[in-house]
Structure 1
């Protein structure tokens, strides 16, 4: 009877040891995959291609690292647990890695901003490649080494372009991360449009009312094309057969516009 107990205890001990080894191997693999995701994000490279199973940079780099890392190679090719094993290479896992890294970076930024004690907020909207209007909320502050920093705190889709709508979204972005009701917020900046700069119903006025004190407003001359007018144009053009649309010569550099005109004149 004692022999059976000894054998069972030995078997249980072996199972525990194997479980600990698997946990360590899994932790090491996840750290490597997170590091790959961090590198792709830092270099602003796409994670996935047209074929998410094989062509994506994330999977290809993971396979490259695995060829030089036996533990990762063993973790990716382990067939003992299939089809129940999880490799964390799917698009869902990749997006989760991005979200985790985003939250970590944002927390570091918030920590630096809070330690700086005072900061200014900058906000503006701009369409992305799909012409979806995005509100970008950035914060400018001076760190403990007296070095000025500008960091994006949040970027989100916005639909309400009125002063009241924008004024609500900007404080919401700040309040979700920073205690804007104290004296830390000392300046604000946005563009010249009435909905942003209006002294009665603009964002800059609403922001002061929400915080409950005067916050000096510094206008910004950065502008972008109107998503609202573009959507109206698209609706009308869909009714016209073979309609042609005017295109910008350049979206980023004004000098290219003059060079294009000079080329035509010559």
Structure 2
């Protein structure tokens, strides 16, 4: 007589049934599974068994039916946990608010005078639970280490969301620029530009990364590290946009050339904004009349804005002039030439008030150096300065408008070139006999 076998290929004589009064029956096998020819049928039969259905039901229902053992043993534990979570939510929302507004979390000196602690104390006036939480001596989660950890977690979450959006784009372009902070540390600013399938343009700031130097090899390595960190593929890179420094745009060993070796389709474009700034700078410096007028204007803004006493005299005289609605004096930027039109306009609008300010300032000046520097009054009275300032304002206001247009992320490269041609035609039309 043939021996009977189970659905799993075991002889029934080799099966031992183990039972538990509170659990479904479980089967313990002595010799493992052997019926591999009928594997599919055997597994389907097992899915219909009572023990498999019971185990599946436990896996599904167990997470939703079980509770924290602390909550089951004590109501006070559950209440304490709910209050702690509510207090911690205030901590998170306060840090998020300060980070969103770009405000310092900690103040000068003692941390108890910082913006973060003061914001929590203000919230505690309307929340007794938070007020009692703030009186705790330990485990209040308000220390500088906890603050930094929360900010880091928030920034990581934001970067993950940005990275996920960028990875969905079929093509990317990268823009970087090096700068030096107040601690004399070289940093690289990284911005990635993308276009969605709906042709919406987005520019995402990915962060500032410290670098030991700004040579081409180091900057290229920084770009590779950013792409590796965010899991970007160089196959999607179609454009590079840098300034005209040799380390960035060098034809033989610059950053642009090194990236082209990785992805030949990543074409390099010299930043239009910097090109415009360099063109305006070279043009103005080659015309002595404009150069002298701008140098005097720069000295005027320094004399006024860096001296509270002289600026106070200027504001008082400006208010006393009949019908004066002009704005205050704006400092002439020493590096950016495409933001100088507003500064020159402020000088022209306040010309009379400035002349009276120099006359009164000379009367109260005691040192010879100050009197010599206030000699700009004589230069302001010359025809060359007045004509040069008016001419500079006429030219620079058009380059300023062009610079603002080039910063519009919605414009394509072809549209930006068209705007530049229109500005050039406008400047040409100003020439008359």
Normalised TM-score (structure 2): 0.47
Tell me how far apart the structure 1 counterparts of residues 114 and 142 of structure 2 sit (CA, whole Å): 10
Partner in structure 2 of residue 105 of structure 1? 158
TM-fit CA distance, 1:35:
1.3
Question: In the alignment, is residue 201 of structure 1 matched against residue 248 of structure 2?
Answer: no
In structure 1, stretches of 5+ residues that fail to align are 1-11, 224-247
Partner in structure 1 of residue 211 of structure 2? 158
In structure 2, stretches of 5+ residues that fail to align are 1-69, 276-330, 349-353, 355-375, 381-433
Tell me how far apart the structure 2 counterparts of residues 25 and 205 of structure 1 sit (CA, whole Å): 58
Q: Is the 8 A contact 1:140 1:148 kept in 2?
A: yes
Residue 57 to residue 142, structure 1, CA distance change in 2 (3 Å): same
Counterpart selection for 1:73 from 88, 110, 131:
131
Tell me how far apart the structure 1 counterparts of residues 228 and 135 of structure 2 sit (CA, whole Å): 46
TM-fit CA distance, 1:255:
4.4
Counterpart selection for 2:265 from 206, 210, 214:
214
Q: Is the 8 A contact 2:186 2:214 kept in 1?
A: no
Tell me how far apart the structure 2 counterparts of residues 206 and 214 of structure 1 sit (CA, whole Å): 12
Normalised TM-score (structure 1): 0.74
Q: CA offsets per residue over residues 161-185 of structure 1, 9 Å max, x none? A: 111111111121121103223x322
Counterpart selection for 2:115 from 44, 52, 57:
57
Tell me how far apart the structure 1 counterparts of residues 83 and 163 of structure 2 sit (CA, whole Å): 33
Q: Is the 8 A contact 1:166 1:203 kept in 2?
A: yes
Q: Is the 8 A contact 1:140 1:150 kept in 2?
A: yes
Residue 144 to residue 56, structure 1, CA distance change in 2 (3 Å): farther
Local SS of the residue matching 1:86 = coil
Partner in structure 2 of residue 7 of structure 1? none
Partner in structure 1 of residue 226 of structure 2? 173
Pairing of 1:18-57 with structure 2 (within 5 A) = 18-57=76-115
Tell me how far apart the structure 2 counterparts of residues 213 and 201 of structure 1 sit (CA, whole Å): 15
The structure with more radius of gyration: 2
Tell me how far apart the structure 1 counterparts of residues 195 and 74 of structure 2 sit (CA, whole Å): 51
Question: In the alignment, is residue 17 of structure 1 matched against residue 75 of structure 2?
Answer: yes
TM-fit CA distance, 1:96:
1.4
Residue 144 to residue 186, structure 1, CA distance change in 2 (3 Å): same
TM-fit CA distance, 1:146:
3.5
Local SS of the residue matching 2:157 = helix
Residue 261 to residue 99, structure 1, CA distance change in 2 (3 Å): same
Bigger relative contact order, structure 1 or 2, given CA contacts below 8 A and separation 6+? 1
RMSD: 2.9
Residue 222 to residue 67, structure 1, CA distance change in 2 (3 Å): farther
TM-fit CA distance, 1:132:
2.1
Q: Is the 8 A contact 2:177 2:242 kept in 1?
A: yes
Pairing of 1:66-145 with structure 2 (within 5 A) = 66-78=124-136, 82=137, 85-143=138-196
Tell me how far apart the structure 1 counterparts of residues 139 and 89 of structure 2 sit (CA, whole Å): 15
Question: In the alignment, is residue 192 of structure 1 matched against residue 250 of structure 2?
Answer: no
TM-fit CA distance, 1:193:
0.5
Residue 189 to residue 255, structure 1, CA distance change in 2 (3 Å): same
